[in-house]
């Protein structure tokens, strides 16, 4: 094990896979000389050269179009969009082309591409650089959606995503880049579609994603001091979703709180709550509660931004509510 940040773990994954597989290349705005705005691609240009680390103009449609075309021709591109908010510019290339090619060519086409993008609020980047839009991609057949919450998962999931033969949207929460943790050295993967129980508990299940995993774990620690045992489940991938791990947890605790930073209305928690209601309703002793952002653009004002982001206090309140406290 090595101790490294979330960002360094992603960088390590890219270096390992580019060394192992010459068909892997990185492309996007400022991924080369600058090393990425959050440092994830630092050092790649020096090590692998301009042919495999390609700085692009500010044109998201060209970045994703290039990735889809390269993937269909046998390469394994890792494209970076900086901010997921910019994905509206290139949605046609992603959801009408990349996501559908395998289906429309009778399974003969492979589109092994990864689209990396940052998401989430917390740095005062305002309404156009702070959103969590994972629910958009969960709704598109043909796309896989990954949201790691720890450095170890970030590395293992990125390696698995690059090796997958389908397009993967890989979302990195900005507030996680500096988080440190133990990361296995060398080559290892975390399978897509497999959730992880980050904390075992008996009274309530929390299903949380990305940065909300860290807040849910902190809330669970505080609740433990009050004698409330909380289990925290991190899906890690939202498509495919590991329903079995979530259902097994709910069948044990009989209560569920879903926590995500995306807008609560029609967010990823809505699908998780509906799935549990359909498949484990008889095990529930209380309604499923969701903790998410309000139906509003992300504010620029620091106090308003902090109110917008789900907090430990809101998570604790939801847990106590489903317990009738």
Among the listed residues 129, 139, 173, 254, the single catalytic one is 129
pLDDT in tens, the chain (325 residues): 999 999 999 999 999 999 999 999 999 999 999 999 999 999 999 999 999 999 999 999 999 999 999 999 999 999 999 999 999 999 999 999 999 999 999 999 999 999 999 999 999 999 999 999 999 999 999 999 999 999 999 999 999 999 999 999 999 999 999 999 999 999 999 999 999 999 999 999 999 999 999 999 999 999 999 999 999 999 999 999 999 999 999 999 999 999 999 999 999 999 999 999 999 999 999 999 999 999 999 999 999 999 999 999 999 999 999 999 8
Q: Is residue 188, in this structure, part of any structural domain at all?
A: no
Q: What is the tens place of the pLDDT at every residue in 173-228?
A: 999 999 999 999 999 999 999 999 999 999 999 999 999 999 999 999 999 999 99
**Same structural domain for residues 32 and 152?**
yes
d(CA 176, CA 321): 28
Q: Is residue 190, in this structure, part of any structural domain at all?
A: no
* Domain region containing 72: 2-183
Q: Is residue 191, in this structure, part of any structural domain at all?
A: no
CATH of the domain at 40: 3.40.50.970
**Same structural domain for residues 237 and 148?**
no
pTM over 0.75: yes
Q: In what order do the strands lie in the sheet with 144-146?
A: 53-55, 24-28, 76-83, 114-119, 168-173, 144-146, 237-239
Please give the angle made by the CA atoms of 110, 112 and 115, to the nearest 5 degrees: 140
Q: Is residue 189, in this structure, part of any structural domain at all?
A: no
Q: Is residue 267, in this structure, part of any structural domain at all?
A: yes
**How many structural domains comprise the chain?**
2
**Same structural domain for residues 162 and 258?**
no
In sequence order, what are the residues at sequence separation of 6 or more whose Cβ sits closer than 8 angstroms to the Cβ of residue 208?
A: 149, 215, 216, 232, 233, 234, 258, 259, 260
Q: Is residue 90, in this structure, part of any structural domain at all?
A: yes
Q: What is the tens place of the pLDDT at every residue in 112-126?
A: 999 999 999 999 999
**Same structural domain for residues 136 and 250?**
no
**Same structural domain for residues 178 and 207?**
no
Q: Among this protein's residues, is 129 annotated catalytic?
A: yes
Q: What is the dihedral of CA 313, 315, 317, 322, to 10 degrees?
A: -170
Last residue of a domain, one of 154, 183, 212: 183
């Amino acid at each position: 094990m090595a101790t490294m940040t979330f960002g360094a773990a992603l960088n390590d994954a890219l270096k390992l896979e580019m060394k192992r597989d010459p068909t892997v290349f990185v492309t996007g705005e400022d991924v080369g000389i600058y090393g990425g705005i959050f440092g994830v691609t630092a050092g790649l240009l020096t090590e692998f050269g301009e042919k495999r680390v390609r700085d692009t103009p500010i044109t998201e449609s060209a970045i994703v179009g290039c990735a889809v075309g390269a993937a269909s021709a046998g390469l394994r591109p890792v494209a970076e969009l900086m901010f997921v908010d910019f994905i509206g510019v290139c949605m046609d290339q992603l959801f009408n082309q990349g996501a559908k090619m395998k289906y429309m060519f009778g399974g003969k086409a492979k589109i092994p591409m990864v689209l990396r993008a940052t998401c989430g609020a917390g740095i005062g980047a305002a309404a156009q650089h702070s959103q969590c839009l994972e629910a958009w991609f969960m709704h598109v057949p043909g796309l896989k959606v990954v949201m790691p919450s720890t450095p170890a998962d970030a590395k293992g999931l990125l390696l698995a995503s690059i090796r997958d033969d389908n397009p993967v949207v890989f979302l990195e929460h900005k507030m996680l880049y500096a988080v440190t943790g133990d990361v296995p050295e060398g080559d290892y993967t975390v399978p897509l579609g497999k959730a992880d129980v980050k904390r075992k508990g008996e009274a309530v299940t929390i299903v949380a994603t990305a940065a909300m995993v860290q807040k849910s774990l902190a809330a669970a620690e505080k609740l433990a001091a009050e004698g409330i045992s909380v289990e925290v489940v991190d899906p890690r991938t939202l498509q495919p979703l590991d329903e079995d791990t979530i259902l097994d947890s709910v069948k044990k605790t009989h209560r569920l709180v879903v926590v995500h930073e995306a807008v609560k209305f029609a967010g990823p928690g809505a699908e998780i709550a509906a799935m549990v209601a359909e498949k484990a309703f008889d095990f529930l002793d209380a309604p499923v509660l969701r903790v998410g952002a309000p139906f509003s653009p992300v504010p620029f004002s620091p106090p308003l931004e902090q109110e917008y982001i789900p907090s430990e206090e809101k998570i604790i309140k939801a847990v106590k509510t489903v317990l009738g406290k």
